[in-house]
Amino acid sequence: MAAMRGAEIYLLPTSESEMSSDLDTLRHRYEELTRFFSAAATAGDAVVLMVA
C-alpha cells in the first residue's frame, strides 16, 4: 500500500477527518453522475462508459 500511495495511484485517507471528506466528495460525485445518466435517459441520448 505504501508503494501505491508513493506513486499516487490510489490515495487512501490517512485520518478520520480525511475519510469523512472523501465520502462527502464521493457522495457529491455520485449525485452528479445519477443526474447526468437520468438526463441522458430522459433525452433518449446514448452514453458510453469506459472503465480503464
Mean pLDDT by groups of 10 residues along the chain of 52 residues = 69 68 83 95 94 80
pTM of the model: 0.57
4 phi and psi, to 5 degrees?
-65, -40
> What's the pLDDT at 40?
96
Dihedral sign (CA 50, 14, 25, 6): negative
The pLDDT of residue 23 is 81
Q: C-alpha dihedral over 39, 41, 45, 47, to 10 degrees?
A: 90
